[in-house]
Amino acid sequence: MTAGIEKLKTSLPAGAWTQDPDLIDPHLREWRDKYFGKTPILLTPRTTDEVSIAVKICAAHKLPIMPQGGNTGLVGGNTPQGEVLISLKKMTAVRDLNPTANAITVEAGATLQSVLDAADAADRKFPLTLSSQGSCTVGGVLSTNAGGNHVLKYGTTKELVFGVEAVLADGSIFNGLTSLRKDNTGYDLNRLFLGAEGTLGIITAATLKLFPKPGYIQRALIGIDSAATAVALLEPFRAGGKLAMFEVMPSIGYRAVVDNFDNIRDPFSEHHPWYLLCDWEVETDEEGLNIAETVIGKAIENNTVKDAIIALNQTQAADILSIREHMSAGQKFLGGSIKHDITVPIDKIPEFFERANAAMQNVVAGCRPVGFGHFGDGNIHYNIAQPEGADREAFLANWDALSQPVFDIVDALGGSISAEHGIGIMKRDDLAQRASPVKMKLLRTLKNALDPDGIMNPRVMV
Ligand SMILES: Cc1cc2nc3c(=O)[nH]c(=O)nc-3n(C[C@H](O)[C@H](O)[C@H](O)COP(=O)(O)OP(=O)(O)OC[C@H]3O[C@@H](n4cnc5c(N)ncnc54)[C@H](O)[C@@H]3O)c2cc1C
């Protein structure tokens, strides 16, 4: 290993590597303090060629590599345990923005927020929004196939990519950058890198799809009595094809936000068991108000909805979105939290809650399920907060005991144990146990073909 590290230091320009523990430290701990890591060296290349040089040296010396973007991943795939850490954070350029093709080509270390801003400045929309958008990067969102709040209308990241540029495990550069909507010349190689979590190569740039900016976004926050009511409202709310966001929050998570953050207030005068947050993308504010008042009015008439706030201006709209954006951070106030990111078919959401909530109490009596998220996609962030007053570490020791029944129920309902965060380290063994042998064989065949020496993020996924 030492010879390889020395070669990296002499071959890369000054400033493209460091072994300073103070500079490396923020890259070794993740957002929730769940994983802590170590690395012999942090590389911060500025160009695709520098990434290529680094990977060629690692390949020659069989040094394992971990790519890192914004370090906001939630499954441990971004925390090194001895791998050479390659951070893309210095590769942030917008290489091209083509409004006619509705395409933007941007380097992998650019934050998602910078892509949203660049698209907006060109009077376009890039429809991927996550609470971590200020930190997470293009390389990270592509590598995890991130989801977020607008999958309902625009799909996951996989649907938003024309092509990628990636450095392969031997250091060669695959250039799939294109804005072509039609290219039937063989396997879709670009897609191999989407959701691959850095196991097949390092994404260095991508051409992303842009969309027309909607004339107006109508937002509403709605008080409801149950998860089943949320599911029942999906059909009437999406009639007309304008619904772009359908997010659900239980009271316990909602209160953890509105009761603890000084700059966030509860717009309702009464408490509700559940809250539904919706966006409709429309042409004018008049059209938005009309849609929201009509569908919500009908739901109030038939007693499905208890109360609603229909945003009348951008400030109100931003304020109510802020509650949803703080759902993850808010749960820190509930103590230890065991997290699941699962999908089930949308009509099975109520049954999932019924079965999973009961199963959780059988494992840790008094634990508090906080199931929130993208119900319009069947995606529930099914977090379990510790019982009130319990010891945090003792509760977190139940991670596996609580997760296995959740995954069993997900499997029984035809769902997925990872909706949008990926496999990483956290779910690697679960994937191996629960996926079909044929799927595992295909995954491993692809991995071996593209990375025969197993140097690309070797502890992750397969
Ligand atoms: C508060 C909060 C809210 C979140 N909300 C959502 C959400 O709504 N939806 C969602 O999908 N996710 C969400 N996430 C998870 C996370 O933000 C996403 O997974 C994001 O895509 C990770 O991007 P990143 O740049 O931080 O990647 P990192 O965390 O740095 O890396 C994630 C994985 O991608 C690999 N990787 C990173 N860059 C590259 C590259 N250039 N080439 C190859 N592999 C690479 C890493 O090796 C690792 O395996 C949330 C996280 C937080 C902290």
Q: Is 80 helix (H, G, I), strand (E, B) or coil?
A: coil
Q: What is the pLDDT of residue 34?
A: 80
Residue 73 predicted with pLDDT over 80: yes
**Which CATH fold topology does 216-329 show?**
Alpha-Beta Plaits (3.30.70)
Model pLDDT for residues 275-304, shown as the tens digit of each residue = 999 999 999 999 999 999 999 999 999 989
Percentage of the chain beyond pLDDT 70 is 100
Q: What's the CA-to-centroid distance between 71 and ligand 1, angstroms?
A: 7
Residue 270 predicted with pLDDT over 80: yes
Q: What's the CA-to-centroid distance between 197 and ligand 1, angstroms?
A: 9
Tell which one of 136, 193, 245, 461 to mutate to probe ligand 1, the residue whose CB is within 8 A of the most ligand atoms. 136
Residue 377 predicted with pLDDT over 90: yes
Is the CB of 111 inside a 6 Å radius of any atom of ligand 1?
no
Model pLDDT for residues 228-252, shown as the tens digit of each residue = 999 999 999 999 899 999 999 999 9
Model pLDDT for residues 140-191, shown as the tens digit of each residue = 999 999 998 899 999 999 999 999 999 999 999 999 999 999 999 999 999 9
Nearest to 419 by CA among 332, 339, 326, 357: 339
Q: Domain spanning 2-87: which CATH class is it, in words?
A: alpha beta
**What distance in Å separates the CA atoms of residue 289 and residue 418, rounded to the nearest whole number?**
36
**What distance in Å separates the CA atoms of residue 160 and residue 176, rounded to the nearest whole number?**
14
Tell which one of 68, 112, 428 to mutate to probe ligand 1, the residue whose CB is within 8 A of the most ligand atoms. 68
Q: Which atom of ligand 1 is nearest to the CA of 146?
A: 11
Tell which one of 28, 89, 143 to mutate to probe ligand 1, the residue whose CB is within 8 A of the most ligand atoms. 143
Return the CATH number of 94-212, one of 3.40.50.300, 2.60.40.10, 3.30.465.10, 3.30.360.10.
3.30.465.10
Q: What's the CA-to-centroid distance between 77 and ligand 1, angstroms?
A: 9
Q: What's the CA-to-centroid distance between 61 and ligand 1, angstroms?
A: 28
Q: What is the pLDDT of residue 176?
A: 97
Q: Which residues pair with 249 in a beta bridge?
A: 275
Q: What is the pLDDT of residue 264?
A: 97
- Same CATH topology for 216-329 and 335-419? yes
Model pLDDT for residues 4-50, shown as the tens digit of each residue = 999 999 999 999 999 999 999 999 998 777 889 999 999 999 999 99
Q: What is the pLDDT of residue 165?
A: 98
Model pLDDT for residues 317-346, shown as the tens digit of each residue = 999 999 999 999 999 999 999 999 999 999
Q: Which atom of ligand 1 is nearest to the CA of 77?
A: 49
Q: What's the CA-to-centroid distance between 311 and ligand 1, angstroms?
A: 31
Is the CB of 143 inside a 6 Å radius of any atom of ligand 1?
yes
Is the CB of 379 inside a 6 Å radius of any atom of ligand 1?
no
Q: What's the CA-to-centroid distance between 322 and ligand 1, angstroms?
A: 20
Q: Where are the domains of the chain?
A: 2-87, 94-212, 216-329, 335-419
Residue nearest to atom 28 of ligand 1 (CA): 71
Q: What's the CA-to-centroid distance between 73 and ligand 1, angstroms?
A: 4
Is the CB of 74 inside a 6 Å radius of any atom of ligand 1?
yes
Q: What's the CA-to-centroid distance between 140 and ligand 1, angstroms?
A: 4
**What distance in Å separates the CA atoms of residue 444 and residue 264, rounded to the nearest whole number?**
47
Q: What is the pLDDT of residue 187?
A: 94
Tell which one of 72, 81, 89, 277 to mutate to probe ligand 1, the residue whose CB is within 8 A of the most ligand atoms. 72
Residue 214 predicted with pLDDT over 90: yes
> Between the CA of residue 430 and those of 378, 427, 444, what are the distances in Å?
20, 5, 15
Where does the pLDDT of residue 1 fall: very low under 50, low under 70, confident under 90, or very high at 90 and above?
A: confident
Is the CB of 131 inside a 6 Å radius of any atom of ligand 1?
yes
Q: What is the pLDDT of residue 33?
A: 79
Summary mean pLDDT of the chain: 96
- Which residue is it, tokens 């509930």? 334
Structure tokens at 389: 């007053």
CB 385 within 8 A of CB 159: no
Tell which one of 83, 144, 154 to mutate to probe ligand 1, the residue whose CB is within 8 A of the most ligand atoms. 144
Q: Is 443 helix (H, G, I), strand (E, B) or coil?
A: helix
Average pLDDT value for residue range 427-441: 97
Residue nearest to atom 7 of ligand 1 (CA): 148
Residue nearest to atom 6 of ligand 1 (CA): 130
Give 171's contacts (C-beta < 8 A, 6+ positions apart): 52, 53, 54, 55, 56, 57, 59
Residue 110 predicted with pLDDT over 90: yes
Q: What's the CA-to-centroid distance between 342 and ligand 1, angstroms?
A: 16
List, as one string, the DSSP characters of 12-49.
SPTTSEE--HHHHGGGSB-TTS--B-B-S-EE--SSHH
Q: What is the pLDDT of residue 30?
A: 86
Where does the pLDDT of residue 84 fall: very low under 50, low under 70, confident under 90, or very high at 90 and above?
A: very high
Q: What's the CA-to-centroid distance between 68 and ligand 1, angstroms?
A: 9
Percentage of the chain beyond pLDDT 90 is 97
Residue 306 predicted with pLDDT over 90: no
**Which CATH fold topology does 335-419 show?**
Alpha-Beta Plaits (3.30.70)
**What distance in Å separates the CA atoms of residue 340 and residue 75, rounded to the nearest whole number?**
10
Q: Which atom of ligand 1 is nearest to the CA of 142?
A: 21
